[in-house]
Every structure is written in C-alpha cells, then in structure tokens.
C-alpha cells in the first residue's frame, strides 16, 4: 500500500482538534441558503466567490439557494504562503460579470482582520451593483474589525483552521470538516487568517 492511500486526518500531525464537523457545516449552509432564498425571492443574486478558500462553501451555498443564482469568481491575495496576512490586498483574478444593477452577495470563507473584505466591498461597490451583501462562513473571535455581515455561518476561536476549502500551502482544502492547524515545526497551533 502506498503512503498516499494510507493517509488519515486522525494521524496527520498537522491536524489538531475538530472545530466544526461536516454535519454542522452542512446544516448551517442549508440555513444560510434558505435565508438568502427568502431575502432575494423573485430575484437572481450573483454570488461572488472569493477564491480559493470559499470555493467549497460557495458551491454548497449555491445548491442550497432555491433561486436561479449566478456565480462568478474573484481571487485576491493578502497571504501568499504565510499564515499571517501581509496587510496588502491585490486582485489576482477579476470578475467576468458586469455588476451594474445586479444584486451581489460576496461569498467569503473567513473574516479575520476585515482588511480583504473592506477592500472587496469598496472595489465592488464602485461597479454600481443594485445591492451588495456578504455571506461569510466563518468569523474569527476577536477580529480586529467587525465588519457588518448580513449572513454569517459561525464564529470560531482565534486559531488557524484548515478544511472545507481552507488550506495551508494549498493542502487540506478537501477535508469536509474544519480542524485546527498544528504547525509541526512550531510545536503548537498557528493563528491569523483574513
């Protein structure tokens, strides 16, 4: 048996405690989808998925919304390969859609400092949408800036977390649960993400 086929999250030294189970996430995503369906009844919101971390959340959320939603993708970076933000936000991939007179929902994975979200809101608001809201799966406790969010999944402790789209060096996005990252080289968990 090769090493890749015998991997298990339970024995991986980089993975710590489970923060949210797959079932908890699925239940909350269904609730968020129902809330958005109610709020946008009769309209087709455009979901702007912030890559890469929000791609799983956006896919599940889109399926949970009982409206003819559209999805577009935007990639921004303030991290690179680090576990702490650089403080500089840059657009890596811009939207294809014209936002003029559209009802737009930014779909984010996690809100930490609020820096990335603040930048995104200003940038997208300048494109004249009819409305602009945010749906964030996670908000970190003690966020330095508490942005106003219309839709929020969970508030989580101040730990660097992996899974359900969130990564470290592009790994662990495929976990269906959310787990604490334990930096094997640092002897503990790392913190801070957007």
Can you give the pTM of this predicted structure?
A: 0.85
CA angle 142–161–15, rounded 5-degree value: 140
Digit-coded pLDDT (tens) for 97-154? 999 999 999 999 999 878 888 889 999 999 999 999 999 999 988 765 556 789 999 9
Given the residues 112, 159, 167, 183, select the one marked as catalytic: 112
Burial 86-100 (b: 16+ CB within 10 A, else e): eeebeeeeebebebe
| CATH code given to domain 25-158 | 3.40.50.2020
- The full set of domain ranges for the chain reads 25-158
Side-chain half-sphere exposure of 37, counting CA atoms within 13 A: 14
- Concerning whether 101 is annotated as a catalytic residue, the answer is no
- Name the band, by pLDDT with cuts 50, 70 and 90, for residue 13: confident
């Amino acid at each position: 048996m090769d090493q890749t086929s015998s991997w298990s999250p339970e024995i991986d030294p980089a993975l710590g405690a489970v923060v949210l189970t797959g079932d908890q996430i699925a239940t909350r995503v269904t609730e968020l989808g129902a809330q958005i369906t109610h709020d946008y009844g009769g309209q087709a919101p455009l979901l702007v998925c912030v890559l890469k971390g929000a791609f799983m959340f956006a896919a599940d959320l889109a399926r949970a919304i009982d409206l003819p939603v559209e999805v577009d993708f935007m990639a921004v970076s303030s991290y690179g390969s680090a576990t702490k933000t650089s403080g500089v936000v840059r657009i890596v991939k811009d939207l294809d859609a014209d936002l003029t007179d559209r009802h737009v929902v930014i779909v984010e994975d996690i809100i930490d400092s609020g820096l990335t979200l603040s930048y995104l809101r200003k940038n997208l608001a300048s494109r004249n949408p009819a409305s602009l809201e945010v749906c964030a799966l996670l908000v970190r406790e003690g966020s330095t800036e508490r942005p106003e969010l219309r839709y929020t999944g969970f508030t989580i402790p101040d730990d660097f977390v992996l899974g359900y789209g969130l990564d470290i060096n592009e790994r662990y996005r495929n976990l269906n649960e959310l787990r604490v990252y334990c930096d094997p080289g640092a002897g503990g968990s790392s913190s801070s993400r957007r």
